[in-house]
Structure 1
Amino acid sequence: MHHVLCGLAANVALPSELVDRLIAVADDDIAVDLAGRADLSRDQAVALASRVEGSGVRLAYEGRLTAADVDPAAQPLTALALLDEGAGNPEWARLLAADPDPRRREKLAACPGLPADVVEALAADPDVRVVAELAVWTTAEVTARLAGHPHAEVRRAVAANEATPPAVLAALVTGEGLPPAPRCLVCDREATPFVHDAHCPCPHCDLPTGASCDGSHESALHDLWAAALRNPATPAGAVVGFADHPSMILRWALAARSDLPPEVYRQLAADPTPGVRAGLAGNPAIDDDLIRTLADDRGHDVRRSLAHNERVPLDVLVHLAGVTRIGPTLLPRIAAASPAEVRELARSSNPAARMLVAQRRDLRPEFRDALAADPDAKVVKAIAPHPGLTEAQLRAMVDRHGVRVLAKVATNPDASPALLEDLTRHEPPVRKAFREIARHRNATARTLFACLADGDARPMAAGHPALPAAVVVELLADADWRVVEAAAANPSLPLAVMSDLVPRL
């Protein structure tokens, strides 16, 4: 019954009076679906938030609750969500700054526009996690003060804040002008020297694997450096020296920066770690010479990352498509291609080039139709979902290339009911196609019956509005809970059945 009620909570055809009855019995799971209903009235939203506070948080973030709807003492999480959205009462911040639960104070510390006295109270909070959370989100003036905090975790948070003044970030990296931090998360809890075991037997331990301290807070300092390297406000001059640091994590973070001198990028291109080179390959700040160097890198992740670089030259991208598994995605460089470049790619003798441009969904009809008749199955597979293709073109694709393109043909928004039905009868069958057909808007009842026979497609077919009501009712007793929820969410479910299933007030 629980899965039935969860499905009903998401059913767009559920009448308002039945929504009221569901709200009255909602638990956390049911409330998730109820909170997502577009037709939820303000009174229903208030009632749901009062019953299940988790749903109140979502409703607050979606702008469906106001400060007048919330009691901060009874619904502190919802109040925090409204404060986070800038829609709460400032007095709530003063109330929550004294909350005995540090997790709530930590959440409050991330909220924008806090009163000055609340910021001061959070900056002096006895729980370092609260102060660190404030440091991540607060203003430049406050971060400048917190940079000298005695706890390394707060300094790491300051290093991550893009509002932190560049001079302060540089000081955090070099340590110049700041007193050493006397404490870190490791030496707060353990006698030093200490290294946290990856197989730590303590069930409540939340120290990261490998966290260590020998008195110098080395893992905390490493994390601070990583945060500063990822922060675009950190001056490049303060971080270029990390290009040959022993830590792969730090070199990887450096490789993603867009403000480094060319010689540093060249040094990183020769890094022994493929992940660092892959991070560099996706960086739009590298020049064409370095892009062409990385195109010959034998690391698969390097080439794939380079293919997603928005500045990669088209000839390099075509080469990469021929030697790298990029996947069925529209690459940034292809999305930004000019009309002349699109024409060049669509008419190229290289099937890799045609496959790349076939991922676009805004092609002129002559290019779309030419690619639909392409002799290469990979090109046809890429163009098959393109809107505007005729039934004859889609059938011709399947006739020529069979199982290699069938699932993609099934995703075409213009695939006719007759074509979809024929695809379910294809020999050999293509299981992935059944999943696509089961969610297709043009699927008919007969087609959906075929999809119900496939285990993966069955839940999608159960929720399709074209499925006959009698079948939908039968599926409410299915052994697979996913099918049950989908059937209960099906708008074809008869109203009388819905009413019988929802508990009465």
Structure 2
Amino acid sequence: MTHLLCGLAANTALPSELVDRLIAVADTDIAVDLAGRADLSHAQAVTLASRVEDSRVYLAHQGLLTAADVDPEVDPHAALALLHERAGRAEWASLFAADPLPEHREKLAGCPGLPSDVVEALAADPDVGVVTELALWTPPDVAARLAEHPHAEVRRAVATNESTPPAVLAALITGVGLPPARGCLVCDRQPTPFVHERDCPRPDCDLLPGASCDGSHESTLHDIRMAAAGNPATPAEAVVGFVDHPSMQLRWELAARPDLPPEVYRRLATDPVPGVRADLAENPEIGDAVIRMLAEDRGHDVQRRLAHNPHVPLDVLTRLATTTKTGATLLPRIAAASAGEVQELARSPIPAARMLVAQRRDLPPEIRDTLAADPDAKVVKSIAAHPGLTDVQLRAMVDGHGVRVLARVAANPDASAGLLEDLTRHEPPVDKAFREVARRRNASARALLACLAHVQARPIAARHPALPPSVIVELLTDTDRQVAEAAAANPSLPPTVMSDLVPRP
């Protein structure tokens, strides 16, 4: 029964009085759907919060509870959520800064806009987790001071913080100008030297695999360098030396940076790790020479990622498209193509080039119509969802290419209700086409009934308001709980049935 009430809680047509009745019987699962209602009033939110404790944090984050509705001593989690949304009372921050529970102080440390005295208190907190959380978000002056914190884990958080001053980030990499760290998470827990085994049998152990400390906190220092290398605020000159570092992770962090010298990109293009080269391939700043090097790279995912580089030359992209699966997506370089380039691609003798440009949804009518009549099924599949195509054109696509284009034709925003019905009768059927039809607002009852015969389309169709009410009611008892819940969420479910489903308190 709970799944039906969850569906009702999400039903946009549920009358307000039934929302009140649902609140009165709600459990945690039902409360999640109720809290997500766009029409939930403040009074209803307050009642729901009083009934279901687990809903309070979500309601606070959604702005449905105010500071007047929350007592921080009774419900600290909701109060902290309001502070995170800058909707709590100023005195709450001081209250939580002195809270005996470290998890409350740690949650506070992640809140924006804290008073300076509270920030100072948190920066001096005896719990490393609290200071680490503060270091992730704190402003530049505090971050600079926390870079000298005796615990290496705090310094790692400072290295992640994009507000940390560049000179401080550089110092975290070299250690120059900073006092040595005196502790890390490893030596806090284990006598040194210690290396955490990757298959640790202890269920209560929270150290990362491979974490180690011989007194120098080496694994955390490595993590600090990784964090700084991936931080866009870190000066390029502080990280270029990692290009030949034995650590794969450090080299990998460099690959996505947009501010490195051309020589560094060229050396990364020959890195032995395919993942490094794949991240590099999508970097828009690597330059034409490196792009052409990577275009010949058969390493895992390198060429596919290169196709997504916004600066890849069209001739390279066309070659890649003939051998690489780029997915049914509009690539950045194609989205940025000029009018002349669009015409050139559409007229290309290479089907892959025409397929790429056919993914655009703003083509001039004459180009759109030419591609719609293309002899290549992949091109037609790419253009089939383009707005502005007529039923005659869409039917011609199905007649010419059958199951290869059926789902994309069903997704066309201008496909008529009659065409959608015909697509559900196509032989052989295409499961994905039924899912697309079930999502269409203009799908007819007849088309939706056909969709109900297909497992993956069934829950989508069960939620469609064009289904006959009698069918929706029948689906409430479906053996598939997902289908039954979708039927309960259907706005065409008769109000009397909605009322019968909701228990009276």
TM range (shorter): over 0.9
Contact (CA 8 Å) 1:53, 1:77: kept in 2 or not?
no
Tell me what 1:95 maps to. Answer: 95
The equivalent residue for 2:136 is 136
Shift in alpha-carbon separation, 1:178–1:359, aligned structure 2, 3 A: same
The alpha-carbon distance between structure 1 residues 201 and 300, as it changes in their structure 2 partners (threshold 3 A), is closer
SS at match of 1:465: coil
Tell me, yes or no, if the aligned pair for 1:304 and 1:324 is still in contact at 8 Å. Answer: yes
For residue 113 of structure 1, what is the aligned residue in structure 2? 113
Q: Which residue is 1:27 aligned to?
A: 27
Q: Give 1:300 shift.
A: 4.1
Conserved? CA contact 2:275–2:300, under 8 Å: no
Tell me which residue corresponds to 2:365.
365
Q: Give CA-to-partner distance per residue, 1:212-270, whole Å, 9 cap, x none.
A: 22222121111111100011111111111110111111101011111111111111111
Query: How far apart, in 2, do the equivalents of 1:48 and 1:338 lie?
Result: 54
Matched, 1:407 2:401: no
Residue by residue over 1:417-437, the C-alpha shift from the partner in whole angstroms, topping out at 9 and shown as x without a partner, is: 221122122111111111111
Cross-structure match for 1:501: 501
> Is 1:175 matched with 2:175?
yes
CA distance in 1, matches of 2:101, 2:423: 58
Indicate the residue corresponding to 1:353 in structure 2: 353
2-structure distance, mates of 1:117, 1:449: 64
SS at match of 2:170: helix
Q: How far is the alpha carbon of 1:204 from its aligned partner?
A: 2.3
Aligned to 1:465: 465
Q: Distance in 1 between matches of 2:55 and 2:46?
A: 10
- Where does residue 489 of structure 2 map in the other structure? 489
SS in 2 for 1:353: helix
Cα distance in 2 for partners of 1:2, 1:32 equals: 12
CA 1:100 to 1:480, structure 2 compared with 1: closer, same or farther past 3 Å?
A: farther
Which residue of 1 is the match for residue 232 of structure 2?
Answer: 232
Residues 372 and 383 of structure 2 are in contact (CA less than 8 Å); yes or no, is this contact kept in structure 1? Answer: yes
- Secondary structure of residue in 2 paired with 1:341: helix
Give the deviation of 1:195 after TM superposition: 2.1
Task: Give deviations 1:443-487, integer Å, cap 9, x for gaps.
Answer: 222222211111111111111111111111111111111101101
1:279-358 maps to which residues of 2 (within 5 A)?
279-358=279-358
Asked whether the equivalents of residues 7 and 489 of structure 1 are also in contact (C-alpha less than 8 Å), the reply is yes
Distance in 2, Cα, partners of 1:240 & 1:157: 21
Q: Which string of whole-angstrom CA distances, capped at 9 and with x for unpartnered residues, describes residues 127-150 of structure 1?
A: 211110100100111111111111
For the Cα contact (< 8 Å) 1:300–1:324, is it kept in 2? no
Q: Alpha carbons of 1:61 and 1:338: their partners in 2 closer, same or farther (altered >3 Å)?
A: farther
Q: Alpha carbons of 1:300 and 1:381: their partners in 2 closer, same or farther (altered >3 Å)?
A: farther
Question: Is the Cα–Cα contact under 8 Å of residues 472 and 490 in structure 1 kept in the other structure?
Answer: yes
Shifted more, 8-17 versus 495-504: the winner is: 495-504
- Residue aligning to 2:394: 394
Instruction: Give the Cα–Cα distance (whole angstroms) in 2 for the partners of residues 376 and 300 of structure 1.
Output: 28
For 1:288 and 1:21, locate their aligned partners in 2 and report how far apart those are by CA, in whole Å: 64
| Whole-Å separation in 2 of the counterparts to 1:214 and 1:481 | 55
1:152 is matched with which residue?
152
The residue type equivalent to 2:364 in the other structure is R
How high is the sequence identity, in percent, across the aligned residues? 75
Q: Deviations over 1:297-330 (max 9, x none)?
A: 1124111111111111122111111111110111
Distance 1:67 1:207 in 2: 38
Q: Is the 8 A contact 1:268 1:280 kept in 2?
A: yes
Distance 1:458 1:191 in 2: 58
Q: 1:155-188: per-residue Cα shift (whole Å, max 9, x none)? A: 0000011111111111110011112211111111
Report the AA paired with residue 392 of structure 1: V
Amino acid at match of 2:39: D
TM-score between the two structures when normalised by the length of structure 1: 0.97
Decide which moves more: 140-149 or 74-83: 74-83
Q: Is the 8 A contact 2:278 2:301 kept in 1?
A: yes
Measure the CA separation in 1 of the matches of 2:35 and 2:331.
35
Distance 2:485 2:199 in 1: 39
**SS state at 1:130 partner:** helix
| Matching residue's letter, 2:71 | D
Find the aligned partners of 1:472 and 1:100 in 2 and give their Cα distance.
Answer: 53
Given that 1:193 and 1:215 are in contact with CA atoms closer than 8 Å, whether structure 2 keeps it comes out as yes
Native 8 Å contact 1:288 1:312 kept in 2: yes
Once superposed, what is the RMSD of the aligned Cα atoms? Answer: 1.4
Deviation at 1:122, TM superposition (A): 1.1
Aligned equivalents of 1:431, 1:215: Cα separation in 2: 60
Aligned to 2:3: 3
TM superposition shift of 1:54: 4.3
Residue 335 of structure 1 aligns with an amino acid whose one-letter code is A
Gaps of 5+ in 1: none
What CA distance in whole angstroms lies between the structure 2 residues aligned with 1:50 and 1:76?
14
- Residue equivalent to 2:51: 51
Q: Give the C-alpha shift of residue 59 in structure 1.
A: 3.2
Greater Cα offset, 324-333 or 440-449: 440-449
Which residue type is aligned with residue 58 of structure 1?
Y
| 1:451 lines up with 2:451 in the alignment | yes
Structure 1 residue 102, shift from structure 2 partner: 2.4
Q: Is this contact kept in 2: 1:53–1:78, CA < 8 A?
A: no
Shift of 1:439: 1.6
> 2:398·2:406 contact (CA, 8 Å) conserved in 1?
yes
Q: Tell me which moved more, 339-348 or 303-312.
A: 339-348
CA contact (8 A) 2:159 2:169 kept: yes
Q: Distance in 2 between matches of 1:429 and 1:368?
A: 27
SS at match of 1:437: helix
8 Å CA contact 1:184–1:220 kept in 2: the answer is yes
Name the CA shift for 1:49/1:347 in 2 (closer, same or farther; >3 Å). farther
Q: Distance in 2 between matches of 1:101 and 1:377?
A: 63
| Structure 2 CA distance for aligned equivalents of residues 2 and 461 of structure 1 | 21
Question: Residue 78 of structure 2 aligns with which residue?
Answer: 78
Deviation at 1:271, TM superposition (A): 0.5
Within 1, Cα distance between the matches of 2:398 and 2:334? 26
Amino acid at match of 2:321: A
What letter matches 2:240 in structure 1?
Answer: V
Q: Contact between 1:21 and 1:502, CA under 8 Å: does it hold in 2?
A: yes
User: 1:103 deviation in Å?
Assistant: 2.5
- 1:280 and 1:115 map into 2 onto residues whose CA distance is 41
Aligned residues: 505
The change in CA–CA distance for 1:370 and 1:287 in structure 2 (over 3 A counts) is same
Residues in 2 aligned to 1:450 and 1:382: alpha-carbon distance in whole angstroms: 26
CA contact (8 A) 1:50 1:75 kept: no
- Go from structure 1 to structure 2 and tell me whether the alpha carbon gap of 1:321 and 1:300 turns closer, same or farther (over 3 Å shift): farther
CA shift, 1:503, in A, is 1.6
Aligned to 2:430: 430
The Cα shift of 1:402 comes to 0.7
Aligned partner of 2:250 in structure 1 is 250
Between the aligned partners of 1:210 and 1:90, the Cα distance in structure 2 is: 43
Deviation at residue 69 of structure 1 after TM alignment: 2.9
Separation of aligned partners in 1, 2:202 and 2:189: 13
Alignment-derived partner of residue 194 in structure 1: 194
Query: How far, CA to CA, are the matches of 2:296 and 2:158 in structure 1?
Result: 39
SS in 1 for 2:93: helix
